[in-house]
Structure 1
Amino acid sequence: MSPLADRGPHRVTVVTGVDRSVVTVTGDMDLDHVDALNSALLGACADPGAPQRVVVDLTRLAFCDSAGLNALLRARALCESNGRSLILVGPGPQFMRLLSITGADLLFNLGVPGPGDAGDGTARATP
């Protein structure tokens, strides 16, 4: 484990609503913390009966390295192969720079959190 691995809470939560699964990432998403993200995204993108829309809430993401980006790229492909959509909401400057440098900004649907897109238990169908 790297010396930076203990810099704060690192958590991945999933809230499943009627029309979307919201995966919220808190803290750093790096090699030391990516397993929880991979697991959450696998369920949201591939579980039978899961909603067709997967929202990844990045508003609480402090840092992301290539391991976190690769998890999101795999999730994008998995969602696509299962007829689901993946949207990243609330990305910060560091993550946007990572996307831009790698060219991945052209691959993802990016947005701002809307009603039900916060991973705080408020996920609900939008009228």
Structure 2
Amino acid sequence: MLSTSVLPQQSQSRDFPLLRSTPRDSLRITIQDTPKGPVVELTGYLDLATTPMLKAACTEVLRGSTDQRVAADLEHVSFCDCTGMNTLLHIHRLAQKNDGWLRLCGAGATFHKVLRITGLAPMLRCYASAADAFSDRAE
């Protein structure tokens, strides 16, 4: 007899629809609803043309989140300009208004360097994985 009371929670994912203003094949956003919290997986470019889509996706995720915590997986982001950085900061501040946060994971060395140079590293914390981001209890 199988006990259904101890079944592990499964992650569910869905693609965020491409906004009309977003150039085709420039950014793909997949939202993973994991047992620890929502993870927004980004693939492509974060720039002036794609940040409205990122902002829309994260706003939707935060609206549906009870604790206002979200991780953004940047492992497959191949380019991020200042508009992308500003949008990530905007999303973090939006979450902070409700005692939440945006944490980054999977970012490459160049992205880490830009965060340090711009002074954003203390606000936009980077982790090796989404699980690490959700496990860190620091505010």
* Partners of 1:13 and 1:40 within 8 A in 2: no
Report deviation, 1:29: 0.5
Query: What one-letter code is carried by the residue in structure 1 that aligns with 2:127?
Result: G
Root-mean-square deviation (CA, aligned residues, Å) is: 2.6
Partner Cα separation in structure 2 for residue 10 and residue 94 of structure 1: 19
Partner Cα separation in structure 2 for residue 86 and residue 95 of structure 1: 16
Partner Cα separation in structure 2 for residue 48 and residue 115 of structure 1: 20
- C-alpha change, 1:81 and 1:64, in structure 2 (3 Å) is same
* Partners of 1:63 and 1:94 within 8 A in 2: no
Q: Which of 33, 52, 56 pairs up with 2:50?
A: 33
Report deviation, 1:40: 1.1
Q: Which of 59, 81, 84 pairs up with 2:97?
A: 81
Query: What percentage of residue pairs aligned between the two structures are identical?
Result: 30
* Partners of 2:59 and 2:91 within 8 A in 1: yes
Q: Which of 48, 62, 71 pairs up with 1:55?
A: 71
Structure 2 residue ranges without an equivalent (≥5): 1-21, 134-139
- C-alpha change, 1:13 and 1:50, in structure 2 (3 Å) is farther
Partner Cα separation in structure 1 for residue 25 and residue 124 of structure 2: 27
* Partners of 1:64 and 1:94 within 8 A in 2: no
Report deviation, 1:83: 1.9
Report deviation, 1:9: 4.6
Report deviation, 1:16: 1.9
Partner Cα separation in structure 2 for residue 42 and residue 76 of structure 1: 10
- C-alpha change, 1:20 and 1:51, in structure 2 (3 Å) is farther
TM-score by length of 1: 0.74
Structure 1 residue ranges without an equivalent (≥5): 118-127
Higher relative contact order (CA 8 A, sep 6+): 1
Partner Cα separation in structure 2 for residue 94 and residue 7 of structure 1: 25
Q: How many residues align?
A: 112
State the partner residue of 1:15: 32
TM-score by length of 2: 0.69
